[in-house]
Chain A
């Protein structure tokens, strides 16, 4: 679905992407990394909004520089800030995007709009104005418009930010549902999202791909490197509820081995300083 080799994007003197190489297939893929690591730049590039300065990118088997239109027809994209016009109703907004997706014939378009609204469970608020919706519902609305025309590739930029735990749970359900028979790429800085719903992860660090694999493989990186002990030690450690320290790194004296999580593996990947910043 996506093949990227050596992507570079420069802003002023900074490099948002610095030789990024990775691939994406069917299923849900997470782009994991701390804030400001170039995730949004990358998602916009995959959405054909930005072009890379260097490197090779193939989306859905095509070159975005030449075949942009064809890619856009098979793509759904939810930016981090979609800029909803708050006076629009749910139906109006999705209908508007459907027109931008070249759905010209009115009756067929309206049927498709109703279908995607139903798919994300917003049918009962279809006539409500966007400003009256909760944050979770707005996020669902954002997902609804990506489903228009049943695209093969769906891109979601930080889709779980700002949701409370319950909304987050239901939202993950929705994403894993839509990721069943197509490719979904989402960016996130939360390892929970990755552990809960991605079957592949690309970890970004300083504009490069630090790791590519399954969440289980990230977790396995921390196997035998997470310890409980009475004293602080290791690359990173913090006190847990029962008074012991949970340490990542070499074993401290008298330590007891702990079961690692995806988070542990991720923190190890980021390394000491970045790990502190992320924690």
Chain B
């Protein structure tokens, strides 16, 4: 038991938060052990301060810990409520990202093989990932509060665009990192980018009328069929050449325009 006790002056200064940290710490250590000083201090602590501290504690206890993706979004300056909405997207959560990584890894490793099919499989897979991610993000079970959200004032179109952008960004970053790491770094490393944009925006437009999961599946299947059909005789990267890229750009443009005109269908 200590030999010293707090006097009135010290208690008031402590209650007002005016002590330097070292002194405050030793006062706190003493308070834990000393009834007498606690009862001296109690009436001097302003009620409003206690309420504020308590509210902070309660908030810290209730508030869910954000996932890694949500933390990343906040770190790059996204509002915390927006990060929350995006972080709840299946295809932006860890299991999905992990699965995508594994799939891309296999494709990228295969492209180390000398045949053209190896590189083709990587370029084919990379645009499918965001399509699948978008389909999962907007399917019936994609949103934690789907039907409730439809009747909420928040714009579902805006939420959808933000989610699509986030999915596209995360899967593109993944594909790019993988490509740069495992492939020879020439133009082919990013040749999937426009096809990604084209297929994803096409999926979004179709989703304004049909179930997003069906749209995603249909777009991905069509893409696979086209790739296989054009390369069946002799595998080549012609699909990813200049003319092909111009085509993907055109598809993207038309889809985005259509999407804008059909935006009412989403809310």
- Contact indicator A88/B63 (Cβ below 8 Å): no
Whether the pair A49, B150 counts as a contact (CB closer than 8 A) is yes
Q: Is B263 interfacial (CB 8 A cutoff)?
A: no
Nearest chain B residue, comparing its CB with the CB of A78: B148
Closest to B85 in A: A99
Interface residues of A in 85-120 (CB under 8 A from B): 85, 88-89, 91-93, 95-97, 99-104, 106-107, 109-111, 113-114
Contact B62 A127 (CB under 8 A): yes
Determine whether B68 belongs to the interface, using a CB cutoff of 8 Å to chain A: no
Judge whether B8 is part of the interface by a CB distance below 8 angstroms. no
Residues of A within 8 A of B64 (CB): 89, 91-92, 95
B151 within 8 A of A: yes
* Range class of the A interface residue count: 35 or more
Given contacts A107-B59, A110-B62, contact A97 B153 (CB under 8 A): no
A97 touches B61 (CB 8 A): no
B81 lies within 8 A of A99 (CB)? yes
Q: Does A233 contact B (CB under 8 A)?
A: no
* A69 interfacial by beta-carbon distance below 8 Å: yes
A150 to chain B, nearest CB (A): 15
B43 close to chain A: CB less than 8 A? no
Per CB-CB distance, the 3 closest pairs between chain A and chain B, nearest first, are A85-B144, A100-B152, A79-B147
B residues sitting closer than 8 Å to A (CB atoms) are 55, 58-59, 61-64, 79-81, 84-85, 88, 140-141, 143-154
Known: A72-B151, A91-B64, A101-B152. 18 other contacts (CB 8 A): A69-B153, A82-B147, A83-B141, A83-B145, A83-B147, A84-B145, A85-B145, A88-B144, A96-B85, A96-B145, A99-B84, A99-B85, A99-B154, A100-B145, A100-B153, A101-B153, A110-B63, A114-B58
